[in-house]
Structure 1
Amino acid sequence: MRHCIILFFFFVISSCATNKVQENEKKQLIPPPHINCPGDGNCSFEVLENSSLNLAYDSTGKLYPEVKEGTKIVIKYTYKRKAVENVMDSGYAEYVYLEFDPDDKQIILKDKELKKVNMIFGRICYCKGAMGYFPVQQGNLFLFNREGNLQIRTSFKVNKVPQIIQQIDENIKY
């Protein structure tokens, strides 16, 4: 009986240690969160080389972005809030697009100068009258581009719709 108790405790202790190792291994596999990504969603970047950002309008006059083949670099930042389970139309996403010339090593812009990089903000949700894409005309942008490393810092405000993402501060290797 005594051997059974010792064997039982040994089994319990060894199984707890194994779980801790597995938990630590799982944590290492998860990439670190972006600096400005809200905890209730996921954020991602796309750096699209040899592209251009076309600002098009649909038949109702609403602005939308088109990324096409070109000679510039297009950055697409995406924030997607986690959908509420079993709730229809709970999807919510925000997008920030901008483009720049690959030869530009440093860009510093403020307010209406943001038009030079075609910076637009998009809010896509089931939000009647409060969604769509809008040119960013209020804010600032610092972009540093060198040898596949991109540092982007921006803070901005779009007064036409509510927004969650108001600043981005990221270092991206592409």
Structure 2
Amino acid sequence: MRKLAIIPLALIMLNCSGSKSLQESLKSQNPELSCPEDGECTITVEHNKSIATKTDDTGSLYYSTADHKGTDVVIYRYTKQHDPMLADAGLTEEVIFEIDSNSKSLEYKDKAIKQTNMLYHVACFCKGRAGYYKVESGELTYKDNKLNIQLPEILKPQKLKDITITLK
């Protein structure tokens, strides 16, 4: 009889566990990504990592990741479709940020977004545009299995401005 009493208790505890952390949602689900029509978007998560920004000898910004338990680095990447016969036609834009591994909800608005060490990256054959840029304002929210990122205009033209990631 005692064994039968444990089963309902276990079911109640599972149902009361609350919402999943962003890390758990990204790991266990196939997210729906908003993406400009002329390209493909992906999202990757580097677990137990943090962002270390650096500057090279020319003054250009770049980053590396360092081991950091309890922090994850999220990379949202847009790659424009282009004719492979055109060597210099490629364009990739990325939004890179770090969050607490156990975040069940997030809300960073305006200058608070700096806490995520968010970077915007452009890789292209486009003089004066390619490189990494610190995101100084904008919005990043995670609630009800939806991750929303709104970026200010950092460069012209910029494909990634309003990103929605729905986790089922």
Residue matched to 1:155 = 150
Question: Counterparts in 2 of 1:20-169, with a 5 A limit?
Answer: 34-71=32-69, 72-144=71-143, 151-169=146-164
More contact order relative to length (CA 8 Å, sep ≥ 6)? 2
Q: Offset of 1:34 from its aligned partner?
A: 4.2
Measure the CA separation in 2 of the matches of 1:55 and 1:47: 18
Q: Secondary structure at the match of 2:43?
A: strand
Cα pair distance change 1:33/1:49, threshold 3 Å: closer
Greater gyration radius: 1
CA contact (8 A) 2:31 2:167 kept: no
Measure the CA separation in 2 of the matches of 1:112 and 1:90: 34
Range 89-98 or range 161-170, more displaced: 161-170
CA contact (8 A) 1:91 1:125 kept: yes
Q: Which runs of 5+ in 2 are unaligned?
A: 1-29
Q: Secondary structure at the match of 1:64?
A: strand
**How many percent of aligned residue pairs carry the same amino acid?**
31
Q: Which runs of 5+ in 1 are unaligned?
A: 1-31
Q: Offset of 1:103 from its aligned partner?
A: 3.1
Give the number of aligned pairs.
Answer: 138
Q: 1:57-110, CA deviations, whole angstroms, 9 ceiling, x for partnerless residues?
A: 122111112123222111000001112232121111000001011233222111
* RMSD over aligned Cα atoms: 2.2
Q: Secondary structure at the match of 1:39?
A: coil
Q: Offset of 1:122 from its aligned partner?
A: 0.7
Cα pair distance change 1:85/1:138, threshold 3 Å: same
Measure the CA separation in 1 of the matches of 2:122 and 2:61: 12
Measure the CA separation in 1 of the matches of 2:167 and 2:117: 20
Normalising by structure 1, we get a TM-score of 0.71
